[in-house]
Amino acid sequence: MMEENAQGGKRVGPSQSQRCAWARSCYISEDIRERTVFSRLFEILWGPEPVIMVQRLFGDQLGWLFHGLTLLGASPGMVIIVAVAFWLRGHRLALRLSGILLLTVTTNMLFWQIVGVPRPDDPGIVQRATVSVTSFPSGHTGSATAMWGLLASWHYVPTVLSILVVVGVMVSRLYLGVHYLGDVIGGLVVGFVALAIYRRWHYLILHWLITIVRSVQRRLGKWAFPVALAVGPVGFLIALFMLGTNQKGWQIGGAI
């Protein structure tokens, strides 16, 4: 504020101490404001409100729908997509889809080990599924984004269909109560990044995969085909044994 000079009546500016006090006050207010905005954003991304809102919006009668949608981003669903691609389009597309799936799953596993965000446990959230790994990022969302994004970018499926599948998987993870909003957004980002990397360097990645397969074939020689026939069923039985009494896992295995 301007002040009167006692001698000439001339108005002068605030003193140095006043300016410093105002600066400190403005800085503190801005800092508090930034903290408030950041805290609110964090509450939206990793708070229970969005999850509870989705669960209340769709109610309890659509569980079958969201369990089905979440399979479109799960490993069994991905395996079925690769198998259908092999059946309809041949081994080239199946191998390409396997490559991006491997890249996305590996990236998700690295994040799960490094970040370690716990699963939603708010009492207001209905837990409709149980998952043992950590929460960030959403592996289902990342896999669905990468896989269906690749299919759309190569014009195997309509872009609108891919968008609907990815959005459906994201909403299903919230509805089932196994992810926060920030987790599914993180999975979306991971999927897009994996898709961009794979589209740029997929020939190198596929060459690496083919080299490994051929190396194994050379080492096995005439036993390559019998071993390939044995590994699939044995690995599948081991996976089912690890599921124990998980009824849903056995149902998925039977479908495959």
Model confidence over 106-152: pLDDT tens digits?
Answer: 888 888 888 878 888 888 888 888 887 788 899 999 999 999 999 99
What is the average pLDDT across 160-166? 95
Say which range, 8-22, 67-81, 93-107, 135-149, has the weakest mean pLDDT. 8-22
pLDDT for residue 11 is more than 60 = no
Contacts 24+ apart (CB under 8 A), 85-93: 85/156, 89/156, 93/156
Same domain, 109 and 72: yes
Bridge partners, 3 (sequence order) = 12
Could you tell me the pLDDT band of residue 164, with boundaries at 50, 70 and 90? Answer: very high
* pLDDT tens for each residue of 218-229: 776 666 656 565
CB 99 within 8 A of CB 206: yes
Residue 233 belongs to some domain of the structure? no
Same domain, 26 and 79: no
Q: What is the dihedral of CA 48, 52, 53, 58, to 10 degrees?
A: 150
Quote the tokens at residue 95.
């191998």
Same domain, 155 and 32: no
Residue 121 belongs to some domain of the structure? yes
Could you tell me the pLDDT band of residue 256, with boundaries at 50, 70 and 90? Answer: very low
| Domain limits for position 21 | 14-46
Residue 247 belongs to some domain of the structure? no
CATH number of the domain residue 175 falls in: 1.20.144.10
Residue with tokens 């872009």: 159
d(C-alpha 4, C-alpha 138), whole Å: 65
Same domain, 39 and 127: no
Residue 250 belongs to some domain of the structure? no
Residue 229 belongs to some domain of the structure? no
Residue 169 belongs to some domain of the structure? yes
What is the average pLDDT across 45-58? 90
